[in-house]
Chain A
Amino acid sequence: MAHAYTPGLKVTELATIRKVRRLPILGEVLVQEGQEVTPETVVARAELPGNPHTVNVANSLSVEPEDVPHFMVKKVGEAVKKGEVIATYRAFFGLMKNNVASPVDGTIENISAVTGQVVVREPAIPVQIQAYIRGKVVQVLPREGVIVETQGAFIQGIFGVGGERQGKLKMVARTPDDVLEEKDVSPADHGQILIGGSLVTGKAVKKAMEYGVKGIVAGGIIDTDLLEILGYDIGVAITGHEDIPLTVIITEGFGRIRMAEKTFHLLKDLDGYTASINGATQIRAGVMRPEIIVAGYVPKTRAVETDVAQGLVPGTPIRIIREPFFGQLAEVVELPPELETIETEAHVRILKARLANGQVVTIPRANVEIIEE
């Protein structure tokens, strides 16, 4: 197999970032190719058909379905207001009267003589798509949306909750080990995106929500804390639509895990910059990882790039992503071509790596990720 390693998450101070901004249904594109946009620029809009409501007129009037059209006082296509009468049953020269009212403001869409049901459709719901990042429209997808492109810093996390938001980055941690606690969050952090070190506590997230913080980034979070914040257990790894007022992005995993040096130092350099973030994570059928984008960031110095096209070679910096040694950084020492038997008795490709403390350990190649530039 050509690919013997888990591609690492992107953490780079300079990248070309392209985002496809697409409507859920056909609509209208509001910007042009070449136009400069900001995160809040509305690039496209559409109208979602309003919610339909079914009214069982036959039952309400105690008449046969095929007779319903006869008793309707409103026709298909007519606008109605909530409470307005749409059907009336009269008998005994008007002495007996029964009315059916519309449950909502809307339009009569369908009157069925088969089921006796009437559909009232609420007014259309306008839906808008924003640019999300500051950049330039490089392609218009007619009636669907646009592709926005920018240059800047790009950081991927491993898991997140919450959707697209913008805010100013604020580095709270002093070292990649620091824990972002409740006491580290203040009302002055309103509108900001706080950066922690190895962990953000559940209490800190709750406080942040109270103070209107837009986002939190940290190395890890305790699984049960996340459960408490969301109010439910995550079943399948598809996130981004949670009903919470901020976005949480973790960069390393579940538990207290020191943030990767590279990620931490880049975020430190980005302190004070405005970022677009998105916690949406999807780990199958089109992998999506949470991200932090700082459009327009120009690094002070260009760092040396690791040539990841080579894959794993002696000297490649890696992170171990499974027990034992989970979260630790190491450097590849040896890559034996033969399969080796590990403790589970499985025969797998392994590598030997040197941990930060100098110890050389054997790790299955599937359990490491390359630290990409």
Chain B
Amino acid sequence: MKNGSYDLPPEINSVLATDCGSTTTKAILIEKVNGEYRLIVRGEAPTTVEAPFEDVTMGARNAIREVEELTGRRLLSEEGVITPRQPDGSGVDLYVSTSSAGGGLQMMVAGVVKSMTAESAQRAALGAGAIVMDVISVDDGRRPHEKIERIRHLRPDMILLSGGIDGGTITHVVEIAELIAAAEPKPRLGIGFKLPIIYAGNKDARHHIQKTLGDKLDLRIVDNLRPVLEKEVLGPAREEIHNLFMEHVMAQAPGYNKLMKWTPIPIMPTPGAVGLIMQATAKKYNISVVGVDIGGATTDVFSVVGDVFNRTVSANLGMSYSISNVLLEAGTANIMRWIPFDIDEADLRNRIRNKMIRPTTIPQTLDELVIEQALAREALRLAFEHHKTLAVGLKGVQKQRTIGDAFDQSASGESLINMMDLGMLIGSGGVLSHAPRRVQSALMMLDAFLPEGVTTLTVDSIFMMPQLGVLSTVHEQAAVEVFEKDCLIWLGTAIAPVGAGREGEDCVTVRGTLPDGTQLQETVKFGSMKRIPLREADLVELEIHPARGFDVGAGKGHVLKTKVRGGVVGIIVDARGRQPFVLPEDSAQRRKKLLEWFNALEVYPAELLARYAR
């Protein structure tokens, strides 16, 4: 998707971008002010794909109208968004949009071997912004009739079929194709339409695939996404997914054919766009990044490690519609371990259920907020676990091993995500972005992800990552500028030594010169946490001295010299231990520690915390 291939004005000074979410449509206006791109205003309105409206452009117009009201500018005409910017000041140079309305893009994925081609296909689908409903493979443990049953009952928007390296056997992938043909899957949207299926497997099998599936489904053929075991080539599959998304899903969801005419840039699925802005950020700072978007129904986790981008969707972990599932997967014990007061298990369960059936309510008391944030920790933790199992090195690859390698335990299939190397965590979603105190977001992320060494923590202030992501496809500079200056809230930097020690022993000492000239020298004991205020604009050179047995990134007991950025919270020294991170077993002890950390970081109002201490 290169700039030159779209019909754009030579200079882009104003951009209007919308994201049509499943509940709300958000519009943002970006303009070039004094040489830099900044967010000007934001508008929001309910999404209008469901009855009685059934036309997504209505919600988009309402959201854009709010932007018009707030700026006093005219942006809309009868036909849609006015582009380019007119001499009278109306209109914008560019309009772009993303969409997750109608439940987003839902796919089924099939491959031959679960851990190889099926997994690659899964990564292709997730990276394109889809929710993967099921992964079918020859070796997934299900009998043929069970697989068929499953395919018949799913109503995906499309299927991605892969299998076999180029030149390898064709039998297995044709077997899967025959299963799919027998099952006669039906698409979710549009009764009577042929279900789209993308074949991205062994090229030698193309002829048979065409014969088996060509009549019953809308078959598209692209390059093999695993042409040899050592290589994963997801681009062509991802692009075809996107094309089909536009043709089928979008075209049938009400009003999208109209919306598509308003913009020269293809409308992207929201999660695909979020991934793009994360990749752009990782590229700019040359760091690895993990981002999370925790919504009401799903939690998306993104990671950029080197040039490998991965995305997972935990489709059943979220803070409202899926909150009962968080309870189910985590278990009450895991949730209660983060709560510093007594709560009856049945009472906790009823509260969670009632939130599920009335998802738009908010916590009013501190008890309710603490419970909600405890649930968020578990949802984030589980989503990240799920992500780590998918963001792995390619499996089935024979690595050339030297003697040196033999001592290095890394094997194929290992997680790509190294928490010590992780440079930045980006949090997004209501419970993180709208926490009443920013430090609550920082602590939720620390507890859920357990980053190691030195890690920058940020949250998205007002979810506009999708709009910036789609903008980055044609104007990366503008997108990243607005992302850093107006979208991200810099919470600060966490310093978390890896290792375990005895409660009360010295764990790490932090030295440096603060911007006002004062000397910083802080020693933090094992089992405790400490906050060192440092503003966002300040970058400070620190010397971090871990005690013997602890590692902050330079090796056990070795000093790390690094520049560290401040933020709304500042520097958080987390000396609670890593590998392992352990909460006391005894509940009275654990509550005492939780309260100690809450007080040390000023997580909740002190006078209210005092009542928990009684």
Q: Do A and B come from one complex?
A: yes
A6-B358, A283-B321 known; A236 and B350 CB under 8 Å?
Answer: no
B interface, CB within 8 angstroms of A: 22, 44-46, 50, 102-103, 144-145, 148-149, 170-171, 174-175, 178-179, 181-184, 186, 191-192, 208, 212, 296-297, 316, 320-322, 324-325, 327-329, 346, 349-351, 353-369, 434, 436-437, 605, 608
Would you give 14 A-B contacts (Cβ < 8 Å), ordered by A? A6-B360, A110-B181, A115-B175, A121-B182, A144-B191, A222-B350, A223-B346, A224-B346, A234-B324, A235-B325, A237-B356, A285-B103, A344-B436, A366-B362
List of A residues within 8 angstroms of B171 by Cβ: 65, 114-115
* CB contact between A286 and one of B46, B50, B186 (< 8 Å): that residue: B50
Q: Is A183 an interface residue (CB 8 A)?
A: no
Taking a contact as CB atoms under 8 Å apart, the answer to whether B356 and A25 are in contact is no
Taking a contact as CB atoms under 8 Å apart, the answer to whether A114 and B208 are in contact is yes
Question: Chain B's nearest CB lies how many Å from the CB of A344?
Answer: 4
Taking a contact as CB atoms under 8 Å apart, the answer to whether A237 and B174 are in contact is no
Q: Is A345 an interface residue (CB 8 A)?
A: yes
Question: Chain A's nearest CB lies how many Å from the CB of B303?
Answer: 25
What are the interface flags for A1-18 relative to B under an 8 Å C-beta threshold, 1 for contact and 0 otherwise?
111001000000000000
CA distance A254 to B170 in the complex (A): 54
- The segment from A50-58, A266-274, A296-304 found at the interface with B is A50-58
CA distance A114 to B3 in the complex (A): 45
The chain B residue sitting closest to A344, CB to CB, is: B369
- Closest 6 pairs between A and B when the two form their complex, measured CB to CB: A235-B325, A52-B182, A345-B436, A254-B353, A322-B361, A344-B369
Question: Chain A's nearest CB lies how many Å from the CB of B324?
Answer: 6
Taking a contact as CB atoms under 8 Å apart, the answer to whether A112 and B349 are in contact is no
What are the interface flags for A79-121 relative to B under an 8 Å C-beta threshold, 1 for contact and 0 otherwise?
0000000000000000000000000000001101011010101
CA distance A179 to B434 in the complex (A): 40
Question: Chain A's nearest CB lies how many Å from the CB of B100?
Answer: 10
The chain A residue sitting closest to B353, CB to CB, is: A254
Taking a contact as CB atoms under 8 Å apart, the answer to whether B296 and A224 are in contact is no
Taking a contact as CB atoms under 8 Å apart, the answer to whether A114 and B362 are in contact is no
* CB contact between A117 and one of B178, B186, B328, B351 (< 8 Å): that residue: B178
The chain B residue sitting closest to A159, CB to CB, is: B357
List of A residues within 8 angstroms of B358 by Cβ: 6, 158, 253, 321-322, 369
Q: Is A364 an interface residue (CB 8 A)?
A: yes
A224-B349, A367-B364 known; A236 and B50 CB under 8 Å?
Answer: no
The chain A residue sitting closest to B205, CB to CB, is: A114
CA distance A344 to B431 in the complex (A): 13
Q: Is A205 an interface residue (CB 8 A)?
A: no
* CB contact between B368 and one of A54, A158, A322 (< 8 Å): that residue: A322
Taking a contact as CB atoms under 8 Å apart, the answer to whether A366 and B361 are in contact is yes
List of B residues within 8 angstroms of A364 by Cβ: 361-362, 364
Q: Is A358 an interface residue (CB 8 A)?
A: no
Residues of A155-198 at the interface with B, using a CB-CB cut-off of 8 Å, are: 158-159
List of B residues within 8 angstroms of A233 by Cβ: 324, 327-328
Question: Chain B's nearest CB lies how many Å from the CB of A125?
Answer: 11
Question: Chain A's nearest CB lies how many Å from the CB of B146?
Answer: 11
Give how many A residues have a beta carbon under 8 Å from the other chain's beta carbons: 59
* CB contact between B178 and one of A22, A54, A367 (< 8 Å): that residue: A54
Question: Chain B's nearest CB lies how many Å from the CB of A249?
Answer: 12
Taking a contact as CB atoms under 8 Å apart, the answer to whether B325 and A222 are in contact is no
Taking a contact as CB atoms under 8 Å apart, the answer to whether A119 and B178 are in contact is yes
Taking a contact as CB atoms under 8 Å apart, the answer to whether B357 and A344 are in contact is no
List of B residues within 8 angstroms of A321 by Cβ: 354, 358, 361
Question: Chain A's nearest CB lies how many Å from the CB of B63?
Answer: 11
List of A residues within 8 angstroms of B178 by Cβ: 54, 110, 112, 115, 117, 119
Q: Taking each of B320, B321, B357, which has the highest tally of chain A beta carbons within 10 Å of its own beta carbon?
A: B357
Taking a contact as CB atoms under 8 Å apart, the answer to whether A1 and B357 are in contact is no
What are the interface flags for A251-290 relative to B under an 8 Å C-beta threshold, 1 for contact and 0 otherwise?
0011100000000000000000000000001011110000
Question: Chain B's nearest CB lies how many Å from the CB of A365?
Answer: 9
List of B residues within 8 angstroms of A281 by Cβ: 357
A interface, CB within 8 angstroms of B: 1-3, 6, 22-26, 49, 51-54, 65, 109-110, 112, 114-115, 117, 119, 121, 143-144, 158-159, 222-224, 233-237, 253-255, 281, 283-286, 321-324, 326, 342-346, 348, 363-364, 366-367, 369
CA distance A114 to B163 in the complex (A): 15
Taking a contact as CB atoms under 8 Å apart, the answer to whether A236 and B324 are in contact is yes
Taking a contact as CB atoms under 8 Å apart, the answer to whether A283 and B360 are in contact is no
A112-B174, A117-B175 known; A51 and B368 CB under 8 Å?
Answer: no
CA distance A6 to B352 in the complex (A): 18
List of A residues within 8 angstroms of B368 by Cβ: 322-323, 344
Taking a contact as CB atoms under 8 Å apart, the answer to whether A54 and B144 are in contact is yes
CA distance A237 to B321 in the complex (A): 6
CA distance A159 to B179 in the complex (A): 38
CA distance A223 to B348 in the complex (A): 10
List of A residues within 8 angstroms of B170 by Cβ: 114
Question: Chain A's nearest CB lies how many Å from the CB of B609?
Answer: 12
The chain B residue sitting closest to A54, CB to CB, is: B144
CA distance A326 to B355 in the complex (A): 11
List of B residues within 8 angstroms of A117 by Cβ: 175, 178
The chain A residue sitting closest to B102, CB to CB, is: A285
A25-B191, A144-B191, A224-B346 known; A284 and B362 CB under 8 Å?
Answer: no
The chain B residue sitting closest to A6, CB to CB, is: B360
List of B residues within 8 angstroms of A283 by Cβ: 320-321, 356-357, 359
Question: Chain B's nearest CB lies how many Å from the CB of A15?
Answer: 15
* CB contact between B349 and one of A53, A158, A223 (< 8 Å): that residue: A223
Question: Chain B's nearest CB lies how many Å from the CB of A157?
Answer: 10
Taking a contact as CB atoms under 8 Å apart, the answer to whether A346 and B356 are in contact is no
* CB contact between B366 and one of A110, A235, A237, A344 (< 8 Å): that residue: A344
The chain A residue sitting closest to B370, CB to CB, is: A344
* CB contact between A26 and one of B103, B192, B350 (< 8 Å): that residue: B192
Taking a contact as CB atoms under 8 Å apart, the answer to whether B174 and A345 are in contact is no
List of A residues within 8 angstroms of B353 by Cβ: 223, 234, 253-254
Given A322-B364, A345-B605, output 7 extra A-B contacts at Cβ < 8 Å. Answer: A52-B145, A114-B171, A158-B357, A253-B353, A255-B354, A364-B361, A367-B364
Taking a contact as CB atoms under 8 Å apart, the answer to whether A284 and B365 are in contact is no
List of A residues within 8 angstroms of B359 by Cβ: 283-284
Question: Chain B's nearest CB lies how many Å from the CB of A29?
Answer: 13
CA distance A286 to B363 in the complex (A): 25
* CB contact between A343 and one of B148, B321, B354, B365 (< 8 Å): that residue: B365
A322-B354, A344-B366, A367-B361 known; A236 and B191 CB under 8 Å?
Answer: no
CA distance A158 to B353 in the complex (A): 11
Question: Chain A's nearest CB lies how many Å from the CB of B238?
Answer: 24
A110-B182, A114-B208 known; A54 and B145 CB under 8 Å?
Answer: yes
* CB contact between A114 and one of B22, B45, B174, B369 (< 8 Å): that residue: B174
Question: Chain A's nearest CB lies how many Å from the CB of B1?
Answer: 28
A233-B324, A237-B324 known; A254 and B354 CB under 8 Å?
Answer: yes
Question: Chain A's nearest CB lies how many Å from the CB of B378?
Answer: 14
List of A residues within 8 angstroms of B366 by Cβ: 343-344
List of A residues within 8 angstroms of B325 by Cβ: 235-236
CA distance A144 to B183 in the complex (A): 21
List of B residues within 8 angstroms of A237 by Cβ: 321, 324, 356-357
List of A residues within 8 angstroms of B369 by Cβ: 344
CA distance A81 to B530 in the complex (A): 76
List of B residues within 8 angstroms of A348 by Cβ: 362
List of A residues within 8 angstroms of B605 by Cβ: 345
List of A residues within 8 angstroms of B356 by Cβ: 237, 283
A110-B181, A222-B346, A235-B325 known; A323 and B316 CB under 8 Å?
Answer: no
CA distance A1 to B367 in the complex (A): 28
Question: Chain B's nearest CB lies how many Å from the CB of A222?
Answer: 7
Taking a contact as CB atoms under 8 Å apart, the answer to whether B350 and A235 are in contact is no
Question: Chain A's nearest CB lies how many Å from the CB of B440?
Answer: 10
Q: Taking each of A65, A112, A324, which has the highest tally of chain B beta carbons within 10 Å of its own beta carbon?
A: A112
List of B residues within 8 angstroms of A324 by Cβ: 364-365
* CB contact between B191 and one of A2, A26, A112, A114 (< 8 Å): that residue: A26
Question: Chain B's nearest CB lies how many Å from the CB of A202?
Answer: 13
